[in-house]
Amino acid sequence: MIRKIIYALCMLWYLLPANTTFAYTHADTLRGSNGRGRDWWKVVRYDLSVDFDTSYKRISGVNTIEFKVIGTAIDSMQIDLDARFNLEGVIFGTGQIGAGHDMEFSKLGNVIWVKYPFHSLNKDSCYNISIVYSGSPRIAVNPPWDGGLSVKKDAAGKPWVAVSCQGLGASAWWPCKDAQWEEPDSGMNITIALESDLAAVSNGRLIKTIPRAGLSPHTQWCWHVANPINNYDVSFYIGDYVHWHDTLIGEKGKLDLDYWVLRENEARARKQFAVVKQMIHCFEYWMGPYPFYEDGYKLVEAPYLGMEHQSAIAYGNDYKMGYKGYDRTGTGVGMNFDYIIVHESGHEWFGNNVTAKDIADNWIHEGITTYSETLFEECLTGKDKAAEYCRGEWHNIQNDKPMIGPYGVNEEGSNDIYDKGTAMMHMIRTMTGDDEKFRMMLRGLGQEYYHKMVTTPEVESYIASHTGLDLKAFFNQYLRTNRIPKLEYYIKKRTMHYRFTDTEPGFTLPLTASSGRKTINIQPSAEWQETKWKGGFNVHFSKDFLFEVK
């Protein structure tokens, strides 16, 4: 009866403030909003310890959440955990069942509702709650886009296992406050125990391994993350890995570099991963110091394409240049580097360091990171080839829906956040007309929002103020609509007439028009304008802006 009452109260608390539409469920709102079971507490630290059974693909473990009371507490706390898992206990305090105070709880789909007199806790004080659980995570069908557990075997037939969960959510394999805006301020510990002689690699630094006696090898791999970390970045990789270590001297001193690859791929990996030092130096020049010196940088071979797992980048590009040997720009320039190494590492700056509060704003992650590919190409071959690379990516734009998604329901916008996002950054750089000012703007973003959450308006305001550009209509056009500006023009009696259509109020771009040896500057708007024209009828317009010519 008590659990039924808790369920009813939880439904009431969330239905009242929910910002829902007919397209989304109550579960979407629970995942995507900072509701009544979440808003009164803040995660300070996670201590996650799991046993992983490679034979049965089963997890059993405990996650201790250190939390701080930051608001008016209610007597219910929302913890997220996939319904596939069994919940064996919730304890006020750390340790195993019986070591603290057992708490009442109920499960509603992928949510655990913990009942306790939280209102009696002191505001601004910290407490611990431990969730003991077990079960088998979902198996990923098309990772990393369809998240979950990826299970393969290496060339020797040994298990090779990893997890990916962006979008799906970290609660697909461990209990947490599964919200992109919520990171543990003091980092986390991740301990993975294996009944095998395989390695378990995770985020941060390897603190120790603890062998345990038994009928078969059983080792605990203990990792420590010093920095705040996105929930979906928390990951593990299990395999017969070879490891080597290196360092570089970067803007903040010595940075540790670690590589974990399948034993059979060591020779190929050492050759392919040699680009990492050049890449990090390039990214530090353009975007500021690597954001996680305390945790180091790792590349880990994964049984799927790749992911930006903080300080433990997942690599699965088959040791090929481009995107699995394919040039997604169609220019030939895209074969100059390994796409996955560069793109996923770029997320350490935008995505892992500067993080969107709501995944609806994930263009901040993907758009700026996709432009980091252009910046690396510029470090390799120069500005002209880099611009060619960037423009080539624009052919992948679908214009299916706006880049900003609906807020509060755990929903991204269009996949154009990658290629239209990089087009935006390129256009902003072109309009700024000062590469040093643009570079300092990128570095400033990383510094201003170092290890912080941001919103689209905050990023818009920062870029506009530091470039000196009026970008209100520009951002509205490319972020909040799926319309591409259309330039209409005609030439009559040595006069060019021109205007933009399908644009937001106030939208304009500084274009050039050229024909033969004649080049002029124009600033089209929604109103017809005209200018004297002594060129021919075969007119070419600026190629560094995203628009169509009618």
**What are the tens digits of pLDDT across the range 50-88?**
999 988 899 999 999 999 999 999 999 999 999 999 999
Residue 499 burial (10 A CB sphere; 0-12, 13-18, 19+): middle
Residue 533 lies in a domain: yes
- My answer on whether 471 and 490 are in the same domain is no
- My answer on whether 287 and 435 are in the same domain is yes
- My answer on whether 438 and 536 are in the same domain is no
Tell me what the pLDDT averaged over the chain comes to.
93
- My answer on whether 398 and 536 are in the same domain is no
| Nearest to 392, CA basis, from 409, 410, 414, 370 | 370
**What are the tens digits of pLDDT across the range 128-185?**
999 999 999 999 999 999 999 999 999 999 999 999 999 999 999 999 999 999 999 9
Q: What is the pLDDT of residue 434?
A: 98
Instruction: Please determine, for residue 9, whether its predicted confidence score (pLDDT) is greater than 50.
Output: no
User: CA 510, CA 546: separation in Å to the nearest integer?
Assistant: 12
Q: What is the pLDDT of residue 483?
A: 97
- Sorted by sequence, the CB contacts under 8 Å of residue 275 that are 6+ apart come out as 337, 338, 341, 342
- CATH number of the domain that 412 lies in? 1.10.390.10
Q: What is the pLDDT of residue 217?
A: 65
Residue 466 lies in a domain: yes
Q: What is the pLDDT of residue 19?
A: 36
Q: What is the pLDDT of residue 15?
A: 35
**What are the tens digits of pLDDT across the range 127-140?**
999 999 999 999 99
Dihedral sign for Cα atoms in the order 24, 25, 28, 30: positive
- My answer on whether 523 and 427 are in the same domain is no
Q: In whole angstroms, how large is the CA radius of gyration of the chain?
A: 26
| Domain end point (choices 482, 507, 535) | 482
Residue 381 lies in a domain: yes
Residue 425 lies in a domain: yes
- Sorted by sequence, the CB contacts under 8 Å of residue 481 that are 6+ apart come out as 402, 504
Q: What is the pLDDT of residue 550?
A: 87
- My answer on whether 476 and 497 are in the same domain is no
- Three-state DSSP at 266 gives helix
Instruction: Please determine, for residue 433, whether its predicted confidence score (pLDDT) is greater than 80.
Output: yes
Q: What is the pLDDT of residue 196?
A: 87
Instruction: Please determine, for residue 538, whether its predicted confidence score (pLDDT) is greater than 60.
Output: yes
- My answer on whether 468 and 524 are in the same domain is no
| Domain end point (choices 482, 497, 523) | 482
- My answer on whether 333 and 392 are in the same domain is yes
**What are the tens digits of pLDDT across the range 328-344?**
999 999 999 999 999 99
Q: CB–CB of 319/337 below 8 Å?
A: no
Strands 159-164 and 306-307: unpaired
Q: What is the pLDDT of residue 180?
A: 96
- CATH number of the domain that 533 lies in? 2.60.40
Residue 406 lies in a domain: yes
Question: What is the domain range of residue 528?
Answer: 486-549
**Lowest-confidence pick of 1-15, 19-33, 325-339:** 1-15
Q: What is the pLDDT of residue 516?
A: 82
- My answer on whether 370 and 503 are in the same domain is no
**What are the tens digits of pLDDT across the range 197-247?**
899 999 999 999 998 766 566 799 999 999 999 999 999 999 999 999 999
Q: Summarize the confidence of residues 521-541 as an average pLDDT.
A: 94
For 452, other C-beta atoms within 10 Å of its C-beta total: 13
Instruction: Please determine, for residue 252, whether its predicted confidence score (pLDDT) is greater than 70.
Output: yes
**What are the tens digits of pLDDT across the range 439-489?**
999 999 999 999 999 999 999 999 999 999 999 999 999 999 999 999 999
Q: What whole-number percentage of the chain has pLDDT above 70?
A: 94
- My answer on whether 522 and 543 are in the same domain is yes
Q: What is the pLDDT of residue 42?
A: 98
- My answer on whether 415 and 337 are in the same domain is yes
Q: Summarize the confidence of residues 267-288 as an average pLDDT.
A: 98
| Nearest to 130, CA basis, from 48, 226, 235, 223 | 48
Residue 215 lies in a domain: no
E strands of 180-311, at which residues?
188-194, 199-202, 205-212, 218-225, 236-239, 241-250, 253-262, 297-301, 306-307
| Domain end point (choices 482, 499, 529) | 482
Instruction: Please determine, for residue 17, whether its predicted confidence score (pLDDT) is greater than 50.
Output: no
Residue 423 lies in a domain: yes
Instruction: Please determine, for residue 6, whether its predicted confidence score (pLDDT) is greater than 50.
Output: no
- My answer on whether 517 and 426 are in the same domain is no
Looking at the 3D structure of the chain, how many domains does it have?
Answer: 2
Residue 457 lies in a domain: yes
Q: What is the pLDDT of residue 224?
A: 98
